[in-house]
């Protein structure tokens, strides 16, 4: 094969750096939000609850089945040695809803804790963006090993985190605007099926927009690497001083 037949990489260094940045951003988002599997795990227990309740009209059976499935999914994560926060967050969320529904005798209350959490999170995203500490930056900063360096040393990333936080806040507010009227005036099956339908798509949209904003932002500043380099330089300086 001649040199003219060989495939060549026409990417510039900037293109390669941008591709690496997008890859790192994608991996970090999957780690932070549990990936597609995490989205499914937060939706399936609610699907089981509303499906069983629609057929049986028994809150206890539906709630226990949803909680049991959530426990199985959490244990599966533990067995696979996945991140514990994803294993327990889903279990606790379903447990609160199951207990609340069984104690109140109203199947709609199975969904109320999650709805209140989403509403509170929407407000937190928006308020944090307004005051200059976008929540998405606080969540992803440690994942990217940049901590809060984006606030003072990397303004392009602060802008990206602010846009992402606004996107999450507005999408969650829109979701709440659909679900709460159904909670007040609809029945449990209507609320349940709509909530299941609104489980994955809004989150996928939010994650996608976050990926878009961050992939176009400057790369993160690895403050952990900086600290390690500073400590290494300090040790070398001390060693040189001792050797003299």
**pTM to 2 decimals?**
0.82
Q: State pLDDT tens for residues 43-99.
A: 888 999 999 999 989 999 999 999 998 888 878 777 777 665 665 667 788 898 999
Calpha distance 39→43 (Å, rounded)? 6
> Closest Cα partner for 140 from 229, 228, 37, 211?
211
Residue 221 confidence (pLDDT): 87
Count up the domains in the chain and report the number.
1
Residue 6 forms part of a structural domain: no
State the angle between helix axes of 59-79 and 35-56 in degrees (0 to 180), rounded to the nearest 10: 160
Residue 35 forms part of a structural domain: yes
Residue 113 forms part of a structural domain: yes
> Closest Cα partner for 27 from 39, 19, 35, 36?
35
- Mean pLDDT over 197-204 rounds to 90
Q: State pLDDT tens for residues 56-67.
A: 899 999 999 999
Q: State pLDDT tens for residues 102-140.
A: 999 999 999 999 999 999 999 999 999 999 999 999 999
Residue 178 forms part of a structural domain: yes
Residue 7 confidence (pLDDT): 44
Residue 7 forms part of a structural domain: no
Residue 159 forms part of a structural domain: yes
Hunting for tokens 């990417």 — which residue is that? 11
How far from 159 is each of 8, 54, 121, 156, CA to CA, in Å?
36, 45, 20, 5
Whether residue 117 contacts residue 106, with contact meaning beta carbons closer than 8 Å, is answered with no
Residue 1 forms part of a structural domain: no
Structural domain range at position 103: 13-243
Residue 102 forms part of a structural domain: yes
Whether residue 182 contacts residue 190, with contact meaning beta carbons closer than 8 Å, is answered with yes
């Amino acid at each position: 094969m001649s040199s003219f037949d060989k495939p060549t990489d026409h990417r510039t260094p900037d293109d390669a750096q941008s591709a690496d940045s997008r890859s790192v951003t994608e991996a970090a988002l999957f780690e932070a939000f549990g990936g597609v599997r995490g989205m499914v795990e937060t939706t399936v227990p609610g699907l089981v609850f509303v499906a069983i309740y629609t057929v049986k009209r028994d809150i206890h059976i539906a709630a226990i089945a949803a909680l049991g499935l959530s426990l199985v999914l959490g244990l599966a994560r533990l067995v696979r040695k996945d991140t514990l926060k994803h294993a327990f967050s889903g279990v606790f969320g379903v447990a609160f809803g199951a207990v609340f529904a069984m104690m109140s005798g109203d199947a709609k209350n199975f969904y109320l804790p999650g709805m209140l959490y989403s509403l509170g999170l929407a407000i937190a995203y928006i308020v944090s963006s307004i005051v200059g500490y976008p929540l998405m930056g606080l969540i992803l900063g440690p994942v990217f090993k940049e901590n809060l360096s984006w606030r003072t040393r990397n303004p392009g990333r602060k802008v990206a985190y602010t846009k992402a936080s606004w996107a999450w806040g507005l999408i969650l507010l829109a979701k709440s605007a659909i679900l709460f009227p159904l909670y007040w005036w609809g029945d449990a099956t209507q609320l349940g099926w709509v909530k299941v339908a609104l489980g994955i798509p809004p989150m996928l949209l939010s994650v996608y927009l976050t990926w878009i904003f961050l992939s176009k932002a400057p790369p993160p500043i690895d403050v952990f690497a900086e600290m390690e380099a500073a400590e290494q330089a300090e040790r070398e300086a001390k060693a040189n001083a001792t050797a003299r």
